[in-house]
Amino acid sequence: MATIADPAVTAAAAPRRPRSGLLHFIGRLFREKPLGAVCAVIFVLFLLCGIFADVLAPYGYNQISPLNRLKPPSMKWPFGTDNLGRDMLSRCIYGAQLSVIIGFCAAGIATVISIVLGIVSGYLGGKFDLIVQRFVDAWMSFPDLIILIVVVSVVGPGMVQIICTLGLLLGIAGSRIIRGAVVSVRENMYVHAAQSTGASTFRVLWRHILPNVMAPVIVLFTTRVGTVILAESGLSFLGLGVPPPAPTWGGLLSGSGRTYMLQGPWLALAPGLCLTVVVYATNMFGDALRDLLDPRMRDSR
């Protein structure tokens, strides 16, 4: 044993302890990407806001109080009240809940579609890849909003319809990114090695390729949450989103927000600000994640 022990083995391997994943990663995020870290905090707050909306909101989102119509922001109503005396803060918090549900569900569906389509297309390659990619090209050549409006006007407005449509729409477009990552992973020797151990195509895809494209998948998911929230607001603004009385941010903007903008500018400012901050935070968080998870930067730590 002593004669054959590889001296490099003990020397090189011993000092490199496995880094404890998540904590270490959060530390890096704060050190290397302070803006990304702040945005991550906002993202988490938004998430908590959505999850605990029922506890956090001081009033119900549809609780009418005719005596307190169009009150400007004060201690009692931090975001003011609308034309029916409903508390804008509560409505914005419930709006966050809807945004969380729609954002995460649609981004989740989109990511799953992207993974399946991207991995299969990228790994199989050849004619299959060619046909799938031309289909994706054609799909992406339509402006998103047009497809959304067409679909919603056919199946009618509603949360489930919007989640499915946005999921499908962004999923197909996002598959391009995953495919690109798979194509570069596929040529690695370890994929051939996995095949040589007798692994089936599914096993190679699932166990050997997917873990190696997790970085773009995570980034894709995060940025998609922002895109979905924005798209949903756009639809609600056009009256094609989740129908009232559900207080979506887009709906708040277009409904009382637009009508009473001169009497109560806070009606438009509050949801508009929520939307801006959350979408900005999501995108910046996604950007920071992309930079940190980039394999080319992995060795620079």
| Options 207, 276, 294, 301; binder of other proteins; rule CB under 8 A | 207
Question: What DSSP letter does each residue of 54-74 carry, written as one string?
Answer: HHH-SS-TT---GGGTTPPS-
| Options 22, 23, 154, 189; binder of other proteins; rule CB under 8 A | 189
Which of these segments, 53-61, 88-96, 162-170, 189-197, binds other proteins (CB under 8 A)? 189-197
Nearest to 103 by CA among 219, 226, 216: 226
| Options 20, 141, 197, 300; binder of other proteins; rule CB under 8 A | 197
Under the binding rule (CB under 8 A), the answer on residue 126 touching other proteins is yes
Q: Whose Cβ is closer to other proteins: residue 8's or residue 154's? A: 8
Under the binding rule (CB under 8 A), the answer on residue 199 touching other proteins is yes
How much helix, strand and coil, in percent to the nearest 5, is found in the chain? 75, 0, 25
Under the binding rule (CB under 8 A), the answer on residue 196 touching other proteins is yes
Q: Which of residues 90-109 bind other proteins (CB under 8 A)?
A: none
Under the binding rule (CB under 8 A), the answer on residue 155 touching other proteins is no
Nearest to 113 by CA among 179, 192, 188, 53: 179
Under the binding rule (CB under 8 A), the answer on residue 134 touching other proteins is no
Q: Whose Cβ is closer to other proteins: residue 55's or residue 187's? A: 187
- As measured in angstroms, the least distance from the Cβ of 126 to other proteins is 7
Which of these segments, 1-9, 81-89, 129-137, 285-293, binds other proteins (CB under 8 A)? 1-9
DSSP 294: -
Q: Which of residues 4-43 bind other proteins (CB under 8 A)?
A: 4-6, 8-10, 12-13, 16, 18
- As measured in angstroms, the least distance from the Cβ of 175 to other proteins is 21
Classify 297 in phi/psi space as left (phi over 0), alpha (psi -120 to 50) or beta: alpha
Q: Can you say how many angstroms the Cα of residue 163 is from the centroid of all Cα atoms in its chain? A: 12
Cα separation, 191 vs 196, in Å, equals 9
How far CA 279 is from CA of 62, 74, 112, 132, 230, in Å, comes to 25, 26, 21, 31, 7
Tokens linked to 274: 């929520």
Which of these segments, 99-107, 186-194, 252-260, 286-294, binds other proteins (CB under 8 A)? 186-194
- As measured in angstroms, the least distance from the Cβ of 212 to other proteins is 5
Under the binding rule (CB under 8 A), the answer on residue 188 touching other proteins is yes
Under the binding rule (CB under 8 A), the answer on residue 56 touching other proteins is no
The answer to whether 223 and 231 are in contact (CB under 8 A) is no
Q: Whose Cβ is closer to other proteins: residue 143's or residue 187's? A: 187
The answer to whether 129 and 188 are in contact (CB under 8 A) is no
- As measured in angstroms, the least distance from the Cβ of 109 to other proteins is 25
Question: What DSSP letter does each residue of 199-268 carry, written as one string?
Answer: --HHHIIIIIIGGGGHHHHHHHHHHHHHHHHHHHHHHHHTT-SSPTTS--HHHHIIIIIHHTTTT-THHH
Tokens linked to 95: 């709006």
Query: Contact positions toward other proteins, by CB under 8 A?
Result: 1, 4-6, 8-10, 12-13, 16, 18, 126, 188-190, 192-200, 203, 207-208, 211-212, 214
